[in-house]
Amino acid sequence: MSGGDATGVRRVLVLGGTGEARELAARLGAEPGVRVISSLAGRVRDPRLPEGEVRIGGFGGADGLAAWLSAEGIAAVVDATHPFAAAMTAHAVAACATSGVPLLVLRRPAWEPEPDWHLAGSLDEAAAALPGLGERIFLSTGRQGVARFAHLDLWFLLRAVDPPDPPLPPRAATVLARGPFGLDAERALLREHRIDVLVTKNSGGPMTRPKLDAARELGVRVVVVQRPPEPGVPTVEQVDAAVRWVRHAG
Ligand code: NAP
């Protein structure tokens, strides 16, 4: 990577909120000539903080991010947000294009769909599919989308890091927990609550995969919300590859 400030140090922004982003921040912290700043949205009350410098809160859309990149003298951006954080990724693409700052997306691979999964294009599509599929639903799509299921007269187990945003389905129990979740615990949870349908986003990666394996073992139906479209910019799947890109970007 070329450029940098008077001391030759390059400032790299990592858009975070994922385990990969934390790993990348730690790795870049050990790279000579690189100063990393991680950015979090501020959605989680008690976030797992990355090593090094952290800023929290939105930038104010693509224009706000472009202004921030320029004010902070950022030399490169790695978007390591969650695959479903589509607005942040779109803003990063637009802001980096207008600012001329190189952008890389670090995105873990999606889970390979299994033949018996019910694929949904959105949370609304997942909600529409549920009444024909079962009565007791494990909704593991995160806190923000629960309202999309609030109109359904089904029983829901909701799992999220912080309490879900209302409105909630009238019949629901909430488990506050942060992954990763192991196979034994997922199997026990599905059994304890007599779950017959699991709803998940196709987040990918090993951290939240065991619920799918437990569901297959127990014959629980699975509804998977498919990812938003890829942003059409250089993308890697591994932290190593992102570290290598940062060394040469700019
Ligand atoms: P989103 O819908 O794509 O973003 C909405 C707005 O939140 C963005 O326009 C931006 O505000 C702000 N924002 C998002 N990520 C940010 C970041 N890393 N740093 C600063 N501002 C950020 O995002 P989301 O789906 O709400 O996800 C929020 C965060 O949670 C992301 O960082 C993501 O990695 C993490 N996360 C999301 C999910 C999920 O399922 N969506 C799951 C696990 C973790 P401005 O327009 O004001 O800049």
100: domain CATH number is: 3.40.50.720
Structural domain harbouring 89 = 10-109+229-248
Q: Which of ligand 1's atoms lies nearest the C-alpha of 86?
A: 3
Same domain, yes or no: 182 and 244: no
Together in a domain, 44 and 134: no
Tell me if 143 is assigned to some domain: yes
CB of 107 closer than 8 Å to CB of 202: no
Number of domains in the chain: 2
Protein residue with least CA distance to atom 12, ligand 1: 58
- Note the pTM of the prediction, 2 decimals: 0.96
Question: Which of 24, 36, 53, 81 for mutating ligand 1's site (highest number of atoms within 8 Å of CB)?
Answer: 81
How far apart are the C-alpha atoms of 147 and 50, rounded to whole Å?
A: 30
Q: What confidence score (pLDDT) does residue 3 get?
A: 56
Same domain? 103 vs 155: no
CA of 72 to the centre of ligand 1 (A): 20
pLDDT digit string (tens) for the chain, length 250 residues = 445 666 789 999 999 999 999 999 999 999 999 999 999 999 999 999 999 999 999 999 999 999 999 999 999 999 999 999 999 999 999 999 999 999 999 999 999 999 999 999 999 999 999 999 999 999 999 998 999 999 999 999 999 999 999 999 999 999 999 999 999 999 999 999 999 999 999 999 998 999 999 999 999 999 999 999 999 999 999 999 999 999 998 6
Phi first, then psi: what are they for 118, rounded to 5°?
A: -95, 115
Closest ligand 1 atom to residue 88 Cα is 3
**Domain match, 101 and 126 both:** no
Q: Give the residue, by CA position, lying nearest to ligand 1 atom 24.
A: 85
- Residue 2 covered by a domain: no
Query: Which residues pair with residue 222 across a beta bridge?
Result: 198
Q: Quote the distance between the C-alpha of residue 230 and its chain's center.
A: 14
The alpha carbon of 82 and the centre of ligand 1 are apart by a number of angstroms equal to: 8
pLDDT value of position 2: 47
Give 126-190 as a DSSP string: HHHHGGGT-SEEEE-S-STTGGGGTT--SEEEEEESSPPPSPPPSSEEEEE--S---HHHHHHHH
With contact defined as beta carbons under 8 Å apart, do 97 and 233 qualify? no
Query: Would you call 125 helix, strand, or coil by DSSP?
Result: helix
